[in-house]
Structure 1
C-alpha cells in the first residue's frame, strides 16, 4: 500500500516528524510510505490557474497514494496552519483526498497528546469524504519522555499500541479498497 505521510510540523526536531519517521521505518514491510514536503506556498485561489511546481508535485503524490497518514501536532487546540494548508491544496482543483482511506496520529508534550487537534482534523477530513480509520486514536502525550535523544520511540506500550493501529489500518484498507 502506497501511503502519503503529511506531517503538520516543519520544525527540524519535531516529535511528530520523528513519529512519522518511526512509522515509515518500522512498518516498511506493510506501508510503502513517503513523508511529503508541506513547506508549500499559502493556498491562494489566484494561483490555481498556474499552480506552483511544488504544489503540482505535492498534489500528484497525494493523488497517486493509496492512503494518507496524517501526523498532527496540536497548536492552540487545533491543527497547525502547515497541515491545513496542505489539506487545502490537496482538496482544490482535483479532489485528491475524496474517498481516500487514512489514519491519524499525533504527539505532544502535553498530557492529552493531540486530542483536540485530531477532533478538528477528523471534522475537516469528513467534509472531503475521506474514509478515516475509526476508533484507533493515537494521542501520544508527554512525547518528550517517549523518544530518546536519537529519535527512537522507546516507550514499549506506545510502540505496541501503534503496532495494533497499523495492523487495524491495513485490515481497514483491505476491506475498503
Structure 2
C-alpha cells in the first residue's frame, strides 16, 4: 500500500510539473515554478469574479487547527496582490487583502465553505467559500468536481496584530471524520 501511495504521488507530481510548463515560452518554462502543495496545478489567479466583501477575523482555537487531518489539497495563487512566487508576503497592518487560490477536500470535492487560517502566536480565521471556476484544477486532478474549487477571500486584517503567520485552509466536516486542513505553503507578515 505504501509503494502504491508513493507511486501515485510521484505520478501526480510529474503531471503537475508537466502542466506547469504547458503554454509557456521556452524562457518562461525554464523558470522554476512556485512552491505549492504537491498536488497543485499551475498557479492561475482566481479572477473573473466580482470582488468579495471584506471578512473580519475570528479567533480560532489552536487545538482545532492542530487536530485537523492534513489530507486536503490546495494552492494559494495570490495573497495581498502578490503572486504565489512571493513568499513571505508583507503587508501593512489594518488593511484588507485578497487571498485567491483553490481548495478541495480529501475526496477531491470543493468544500462549499472553509476557513482561511492565519496561524502565528494566536490563530485567526476568515470565512470563505469556493465556487470560482478552475478548469486547470479539474484537469490536473482528473475530476470535474474540482472545476469549481477556486476562491477569493477579502481578509480584513484590522484586528490582527503585527507578526508572521502561516497560511492554511481549514475545512469543517460534520461527522466522525473530523476536520481537514491544507497548508498553503505561504507566510504572511503583517507590519506595524
The interval holding the TM-score normalised by the smaller chain is under 0.3
TM-score (norm 2): 0.25
- Give the structure, 1 or 2, with the largest relative contact order (CA under 8 Å, sep 6 or more): 2
- Structure label with greater radius of gyration: 2
TM-score (norm 1): 0.27
